[in-house]
Chain A
Amino acid sequence: MGQNISRRDFSKLLFTGAAGSALGVGAFSRRAGAANSRRVVVVGGGFGGASAAKYLKKLDPSLSVTLIEPKAVFYTCPFSNWVLGGLKTMQEIAQNYAVLKNRYKVVVLADTVVSVDGLKSTVKLKSGKVVGYDRLIVSPGIDFDFEAIEGYSKKVAESKMPHAYEAGPQTVLLQKQLHGMKDGGKVIICPPSNPFRCPPGPYERASLIANYLKEKKPKSKILILDAKEKFSKQGLFTKGWERLYPGMIEWRSASTGGRVLSVDSSAMSVITEFGPEKGDVINVIPPQRAGKIAFEAGLVDSSGWCPVNPISFESLIHPGIHVIGDACMAGAMPKSGFAASSQGKVTAAAIVRLFHGDVPVAPSLVNTCYSLIGPGYGVSVAGVYKLTTDGIVSIKGAGGLTPMDADDDQLSEEATFARGWYNNIAQDIWG
């Protein structure tokens, strides 16, 4: 746990990776020519990118903000497990960019960035169009390391063993497989090693698939073959599974036969260190790294993720380019949609202050993440973060999990608040 950051440390951080470049001579003299036409380009319209675009315009409507996102409809990963559990429809997790365009006057381009020229400050799009920026925000989410598991590939994911860790067609495929499975079938879920998007995601998924199976195919089983020794909200999930789905869900840690070495999609089996396991539905969630464009733009270090200045999320590799959301390394913050949105707002505020010639204020970052174990059984984890000399750390004494001894009323209230959480965060970002 680091100490509170001193003014001196703050200044030091501010100028790391030339975050202070906009305070330099170049930026100021440019301002004289183009005071009101500062351009920000945002790559990616998910939780991070859409939040940054909206809050940039909210803070300073005179900015020219362009959001580049190939998909007209964005299906959120949060609540896609609810779809698998039969508690939401795909339409209910669909977001679009109409409000950002019409109300906030964000220019939304349905296109894909193929390259970034940091020296010229331009991005090149798939259509051939070139767009210039004064500040670039890259929010590409994750990419999958399909090669990490022998026998697995994008093709296998799209045909037989969906990862369903990007909501959309993958969610629909997994749901279709669950609906087609016989009663008494076996569902295998293979969560990846850390770090990965939405740490409680695979376990909420197991819970809500169990909810569906309990209702429709009660003789079925779920086997979780984990690449880890422990997982997020483990105590709460385990207790919930015992209470709601006794005997239905089995979890194996990496060292007790959970580690997946390869898959055989024609035999529908998963090969672990302890031997093969056959499944009727197999959900393989591969290891992850920063989204593709972060690699193209050279924003990634040897870890596969993007190092950033924690004050403004400006890249430590390329000045003038900010990286937010799952793709960046944000200290103690998990890779979650909420965290990405929190980072998007902090980055928007920092960029507006830099444009105005002000020093960014110390960031305040938060995460709130609900997991549904059953329709009236919700649990949550909260985190409040601050900047210290060790980077972004959790504030001691704050945050944490739903208590293990929470009564049924609280678990039911948390399930209700989970629904409220979705409606409000979606409205705060896309609405």
Chain B
Amino acid sequence: MGEKMKLLLAAVMVFAASVHGGSELMADETAAVNPRGQILAFSCASCHGTDGKSVSIIPSFYGKSPEYLEMALKDFKSGKRYSTVMMRHAKGYTDEEIRLIAEYYGTVWQNNN
């Protein structure tokens, strides 16, 4: 069997496994989520809670619109909006990365609803 064939076969099997075998969560995460957005967004969860559901005074993302989150992050980045630490974080991301993060948290909420 050639290398290309093996890759193709593997890709097909992976696709089959994700559609057929996974639970709801797996299907959600693998079907609709941009993997780059996901890896960027995972960092945020440490302070803002898993899936953006905060259990403390730190704001939640869960249920907020991607448009709002994108605007907030861009305003932190430019300094237009006051923050203690968010300006220092937001400056580490390009506008496209900010869009992906905002889209991820919007998607997580939508997938659960």
Q: Which residues of A contact B (CB under 8 A)?
A: 25, 28-29, 31-32, 35-36, 55, 58-62, 338, 341-342, 345-346, 349, 353, 356-358, 361-366, 368, 380, 382, 384, 386, 395, 397-400, 402, 410, 413-414, 416-417, 419-425, 427-428, 431
Contacts of B54 in A (CB 8 A): 420, 424
Q: How large is the interface on B (under 10, 10 to 19, 20 to 34, 35 or more residues)?
A: 35 or more
Contacts of B11 in A (CB 8 A): 357
Q: Which residues of B contact A (CB under 8 A)?
A: 6-7, 9-11, 13-14, 17-18, 21-23, 25-26, 29-30, 35-36, 38-40, 42-43, 45-50, 54-58, 84-85, 88-93, 97
| Bound-state Cα–Cα, A338 to B51, Å | 17
A428 touches B39 (CB 8 A): no
| Bound-state Cα–Cα, A75 to B45, Å | 21
B26 touches A398 (CB 8 A): no
**Majority DSSP secondary structure for residues of B touching A:** helix
B35 touches A61 (CB 8 A): no
| Bound-state Cα–Cα, A414 to B36, Å | 30
| Bound-state Cα–Cα, A382 to B93, Å | 13
A380 touches B55 (CB 8 A): no
A58 touches B88 (CB 8 A): no
Contacts of B55 in A (CB 8 A): 423-424, 427, 431
| Bound-state Cα–Cα, A35 to B35, Å | 21
B46 touches A361 (CB 8 A): no
A427 touches B50 (CB 8 A): yes
A382 touches B42 (CB 8 A): no
Minimum distance in angstroms from B20 CB to a CB of chain A: 9
| In the complex, the 8 A-B pairs of residues with the closest C-beta atoms, listed nearest first | A384-B92, A398-B92, A420-B56, A366-B43, A423-B56, A398-B91, A420-B58, A382-B88
B46 touches A424 (CB 8 A): yes
Minimum distance in angstroms from A200 CB to a CB of chain B: 15
Chain A, Cβ-Cβ closest to B93? A384
B49 touches A424 (CB 8 A): yes
Given the known interface contacts A61-B25, A399-B89, A421-B58, the answer about A363 and B84 at a Cβ–Cβ threshold of 8 Å is: no
B57 touches A417 (CB 8 A): yes
Of B26, B39, B48, B88, the residue contacting A62 (CB under 8 A) is: B26
Minimum distance in angstroms from A18 CB to a CB of chain B: 17
| Bound-state Cα–Cα, A423 to B46, Å | 10
A399 touches B92 (CB 8 A): yes
What are 23 contact pairs spanning A and B, CB under 8 A? Answer: A28-B9, A36-B17, A58-B25, A58-B50, A59-B26, A341-B46, A346-B42, A349-B35, A349-B42, A356-B30, A357-B14, A366-B46, A366-B92, A384-B89, A395-B91, A398-B88, A414-B84, A417-B58, A417-B85, A420-B56, A424-B47, A424-B58, A428-B45
Of B6, B10, B39, B46, the residue contacting A364 (CB under 8 A) is: B39
A346 touches B46 (CB 8 A): no
Contacts of B47 in A (CB 8 A): 368, 420-421, 424-425
Contacts of A382 in B (CB 8 A): 85, 88-89
| Bound-state Cα–Cα, A362 to B14, Å | 21
B46 touches A380 (CB 8 A): no
B13 touches A32 (CB 8 A): yes
Of A31, A32, A366, A397, the residue contacting B91 (CB under 8 A) is: A397
B21 touches A36 (CB 8 A): yes
B10 touches A31 (CB 8 A): yes
B46 touches A338 (CB 8 A): yes
Minimum distance in angstroms from A139 CB to a CB of chain B: 16
Minimum distance in angstroms from B24 CB to a CB of chain A: 9
| Bound-state Cα–Cα, A380 to B88, Å | 10
Of A31, A342, A395, the residue contacting B46 (CB under 8 A) is: A342
| Bound-state Cα–Cα, A399 to B90, Å | 9
| Bound-state Cα–Cα, A60 to B22, Å | 7
A402 touches B84 (CB 8 A): yes
